[in-house]
Amino acid sequence: MKSRVLLIIMALVLAGLIAVPWLASYFYIFIFTEILILGLFAASFNLVFGYTGMLSFGHAAFFGVGAYATALVLIHLQWPFLACLLVSTAAGAVLAVGIGFLSVRLNEVYFAMLTLAFGMMVFAIAYQWRSVTHGSDGLAGFTLGDFGLGLKLTLGNPSVYYHVVLAIVAVAAMVLYLICRSSFGLILKAIRQNPERVSFAGLNVRSYRLAAFVIGGAFAGLAGGLMAPFLRVASPELVHWSMSAEPVLMSILGGTGYFLGPFAGAAVFVLLETAITSVTESWMLVLGIILALMVIFFRKGLLGTVLDWWQERNQ
Amino acid sequence: MSGIGSALLNSLDIGLLLFIIAVGLNIVFGVLNIINFAHGALYMLGAYLTYTFVNLAGLPFWAALLLAPLAVAALAVIMDRAMLRFIYQRDVADSLLLTFALLLIINESVRLVWGSGIHVVRPPEPLAGSVDLLGSPLPTYSLFVIAVGLLLLAGLWYLFNRTRVGRIMRAAALDRDMAEAVGINTRLVVTGVFAFGAWLAAVGGAVAAPMRALDPGMGDKIIIESFIVVVIGGLGSFPGALLGALILGLIHSFGGRYVPEVNMLLPFLGMALVLLFKPHGLMGKGASA
Amino acid sequence: MNRSLIKHLLVGMTAAATLGTASLSHAADPIKIGAINIRSGSAATYGEFAQKGFDLAVKEVNASGGILGRQVEMMYEDSQAKAATAIQAARKLVYSDGADAIVGLDSSGVAQGMVPTMTELQKPLIITHAATPDVTGKLCNAFTYRVSVNVSQNMKAAAMVASKSDAKNWTTIGPDYAFGHQSWEYFGNYLKAMKPDVNLMSETNFPRFGAEDFTPFIDRVMNSDADGVLISVWGGDLVNFVRQANDRGFFDKGLDLMFTVGAATEVLSALGEEMPEGVHLSTRYWFDAYDNDVNKHFVKAYVDAYGNAPSYNAEGAYAAIYAYKKAVETAGTTDGPAVAKALSGMSFDAPNGKVTFRAGDHQALVSPNWGVSGPMDAKLGIRTLTNLQVFDGEAVTPSVEETGCQL
């Protein structure tokens, strides 16, 4: 019974998202594109954090690398968009293999610090390797050509681009969900709770952590690839630690214990930011207060709190 | 060879200042297992309060050096009572997140109160000017910073190894339940250590104020530097903080002079190398977590 | 139970949808101008200055009847010095808040990202600060204009000043990002063309942007053969640089020093007497360099309102509003493409004289001010500038072909 309700809700949400360009004003197309992309980014992070228990503070490295990859391919090779996204995903995965291999053997705060260090190293490279990345100015002036697969889509139209992003994020989310629900995902959760016990059961904890990290990196790269044409620029801030903080905040806001938590968190974050920056220039202050309240009182996030309340109502 | 000589002196100068700023972060982690992301913001607050006392209230620098850290420590007590006490028993991730929230709040508050402009605090008369050392002029104030840094190091060593307060802090760090069992008021220790860490951050800010232009972004600039210092030296080891700070000073000083094309990368590379080969830092003992 | 949940969801979604519906515009509605500046972090002072300039201009314009009989309303957004944030802010200003034009932009990186977006937004953009030549060069488009001095204009003027100096060996100390490198590149090219026997040293100095410590670079220059130094460090970094340089005796070496953005008011106020005398300082607009009615009025109004002399950022903002006003009045409408077209080749009276937006690339033909730091102005608390030079805008601006702009 419960899963039927869930399915109906999901279908409604999906229908609503598809209908955004007709239901809401033009501006919301951009808002929801941003929410979807950042939601995917946050979900990729949550695989590593919420499911596997590793707090990575350099996740933006993969996101940024994905953005730069798409930008570079569009500038130099003009491949169709789908091909660019594959390159971005691969770039995120490859970088994650490198960083992950070195990092997953560490625990807790050391892991966080090392991923922070690696993330900032990638930032430093993006910032100083001016001949390739154009340094602090970033790469701009690239345009989308075809989508690929012979589909004729005017990607320059924000509404079309939004639907493309929606389709890709929906598929990616589905894949991620299947991963989380599989036995692989269960092992990750077990590792988060008690790594020693998993190790005693004969499983190589480090390999599983690395696998989760690489998958997280790959999907973050994909999100980055979607972001670059949306912003029309790929710049080093996309790799900075302050960008790495965003999926953390979004996952906490939405609820790290639920698959859709990061997506909900991304929606809340973006909508809140849009609303509050119109009213005050002290958005950071408001964000800080909200985050503090969430961490102290609503640690399970929005979804967690809502679901708990719902369960109580049913009893 | 005056290039190397002045590079070395320069490293000492930068290094000691970084030590003063970062050591509080180290102590808070060592005793409380909390990474205080807001440490840089507290440093900034110390600097801005010094500016207020000296430039706006006309107090002598020495008075500001005394008052500003106390004010920030008082604020830290409030922060602890109001917010941090909820998450002490939780894991490190929560402390990172909550202190990050505090960073956002303090940063914006500073900008709202003091405005966006650039401010300068002049060093007091006896410390202005420079002396000739090894053929190059060294600002007298840099000597003051070095002296304060060494004094602090000695003071901290004495505190932790020779006083009752220090023993209590170390006991609470090692085993909080056991410490409670022998009658130590760990709640008080926790608040005290956090306030002490904030006090140290603000001392760093007050000392740095005459050396660095004040702007609303100075907290963010220093927090990553502090993390690097603390990681290289060893989380929880304050002599390690000195070593980490000196190493970072060397990296900045020599990197800037000789390999500027990669000088942004080097500190993080150093941080990564230490974490890879000696995760507890060059001087860290085993971590409690 | 489940039905009511579904009903709640539907109601919620409908409510969310109606939130976004745009309001119909009305003739008596105000004209809205969206300003995107850096309003947080280390460079927040520029956003503050820009706002002062915008507010002053809008107050004056509204007091004299507005534009086409409509009042003007400013809307401010923080770019946070990030292109991504600025672009979303621009979309919000235009699509959600109904902005008729975008002004501002401090950071060149932000501008580079924003400029292509203007064709999507179909509104005019008047840049008031960001100096990268590319936005009126290879990235130029029908909607983008710049009222302020760009790097090539600033550096050509710098080269003109440097060519009169005896210095033979030139090096630079600049922030390690596009601005620092571009400044040196343009300066070097122009200087070499004017005075072929200068030596542009291969040993250059680019401290990382936001570096707190400049002593390694100060020492390096002092120990080298350089007798002329182009310094493009700015803002808080410049304040730190000058103080550290003072400590190390940098200013006693007889070097010919040219600070490309040294006469910025926030730097001069912060430094006070610590800014040495006898060095070349430049700024994109120096309040004391222009003797025309518009400037006299502007400076007086600004000092009366805010207590200190206007910085170049404030002047650029003030001028942009008046440029927009004239363009709208010329076009007779606030329609984006029409106003953008009206700006092309348009001249108007700004504090720094008669300013024209060149039709070929939309860059204002303006010049920076160079001077030599002199005695302290007791009232304003900053160094005065002596030997003030204002260059002919056309003389310092490269030709349209040279910029790479193809409109």
Where in chain A are the domains? 27-240
| B108 domain-assigned | yes
Is C219 in Cβ contact with B3 (below 8 Å)? yes
Contacts of A262 (CB under 8 A, 6+ apart): A39, A42, A43, A45, A46, A50, A247, A250, A251, A254, A256
pLDDT of B160 reads 84
* CA separation for the pair C288, C298 (Å, rounded): 11
Q: CB pairs below 8 Å between A and B: how many?
A: 107
Of residues A214 and B284, more confidence is placed in A214
Nearest to A128 among B83, B97, B264 (CB): B264
Question: Tell me, what's the ipTM?
Answer: 0.88
Is B116 in Cβ contact with C45 (below 8 Å)? yes
The highest-confidence range among B128-132, B136-140, C18-22, C288-292, by mean pLDDT, is C288-292
Q: If you measure CA to CA, which chain B residue comes closest to C268?
A: B118
Nearest to C270 among B118, B137, B216 (CB): B118
Q: To which residue do tokens 């932790």 refer?
A: B160
Catalogue the E-assigned strands of C27-71.
31-37
For the stretch C57-100, pLDDT in tens is 999 999 999 999 999 999 999 999 888 899 999 999 999 999 99
Could you tell me the end-to-end alpha-carbon distance of chain C, in angstroms, rounded to an integer? 63
Domains C27-150+290-367 and C152-286+368-396 share a fold: yes
Domain spans, chain C = 27-150+290-367, 152-286+368-396
| B284 domain-assigned | no
| B177 domain-assigned | yes
Assign B86 a pLDDT band (cuts: 50, 70, 90). confident
SS3 C52: helix
Query: What predicted TM-score, i.e. pTM, was given to this entire model?
Result: 0.90
By the 8 A CB rule, do C173 and C229 touch? yes
Q: Which fold has domain C27-150+290-367?
A: Rossmann fold (3.40.50)
Which of the residues A6, A8, A136 would you substitute to probe the C interface, choosing the one with the greatest number of C C-beta atoms within 10 Å? A136
Domain that holds residue B182: 2-219
Residue closest to B138 by CA, chosen among A223, C340, C219, A159:
C219
Render each residue's pLDDT in chain A as its tens digit; 315 residues.
567 887 888 889 899 999 988 888 899 999 999 999 999 999 999 999 989 889 999 999 999 999 999 999 999 999 999 999 999 999 999 999 999 999 988 887 889 889 999 999 999 999 989 889 988 888 988 888 888 887 888 888 899 999 999 999 999 999 999 999 999 999 999 998 888 899 898 889 999 999 999 999 999 999 999 999 999 889 999 999 999 999 999 998 899 888 999 999 999 999 999 988 888 888 899 999 998 998 888 888 888 888 888 888 887
For chain B, how many structural domains are there in total? Answer: 1
Is B117 in Cβ contact with C266 (below 8 Å)? yes
pLDDT of A2 reads 67
| B8 domain-assigned | yes
Whether B175 contacts chain A with CB within 8 A: no
Per DSSP, helices labelled H in chain A are: 2-23, 26-46, 60-76, 81-103, 108-128, 130-133, 158-181, 183-193, 195-200, 205-231, 241-254, 261-279, 283-297, 301-314
For the stretch B167-221, pLDDT in tens is 888 777 777 777 777 777 778 888 999 999 999 999 999 999 998 999 998 998 8
pLDDT of C11 reads 52
Q: A171-184: b or e for each residue (b if 16 or more CB lie within 10 Å)?
A: ebbeebeebbeeee
Is C48 in Cβ contact with B256 (below 8 Å)? no
Which of the residues B16, B118, B229 would you substitute to probe the C interface, choosing the one with the greatest number of C C-beta atoms within 10 Å? B118
For the stretch C294-326, pLDDT in tens is 999 999 999 999 988 999 999 999 999 999 999
- Give residue B137's identity as a one-letter amino acid code: P
* Chain A nearest CA to B123, separation (Å): 32
Chain C contacts of A238, Cβ < 8 Å?
Answer: 84
pLDDT of B240 reads 86
Nearest to C248 among B116, B137, B213 (CB): B137
pLDDT of B189 reads 86
* CA separation for the pair C236, C246 (Å, rounded): 16
pLDDT of B188 reads 85
Which of the residues C9, C95, C119, C179 would you substitute to probe the A interface, choosing the one with the greatest number of A C-beta atoms within 10 Å? C95
pLDDT of C22 reads 42
Nearest to A135 among C120, C134, C178 (CB): C178
Is A113 in Cβ contact with B271 (below 8 Å)? yes
Across the range B39-47, mean pLDDT stands at: 96
Average pLDDT, chain B: 86
pLDDT of A141 reads 80
Low pLDDT (below 70) residues in chain C: 1-27
What letter would DSSP give residue C309? Answer: P
pLDDT of C75 reads 95
pLDDT of B289 reads 33
| B86 domain-assigned | yes
Q: If you measure CA to CA, which chain B residue comes closest to A131?
A: B261
By the 8 A CB rule, do C71 and A1 touch? no
**Backbone region of residue C356 per phi and psi (left: phi > 0; alpha: psi in -120 to 50; beta: other values):** beta
Whether A98 contacts chain C with CB within 8 A: no
| B224 domain-assigned | no
At C19, phi and psi to the nearest 5?
A: -55, -35
What token pair was written down for B198?
């904030």
- Please give the class, per CATH, of domain C152-286+368-396: alpha beta
Q: If you measure CA to CA, which chain C residue comes closest to A236?
A: C82
pLDDT of B285 reads 61
| B228 domain-assigned | no
* CA separation for the pair B21, B41 (Å, rounded): 11
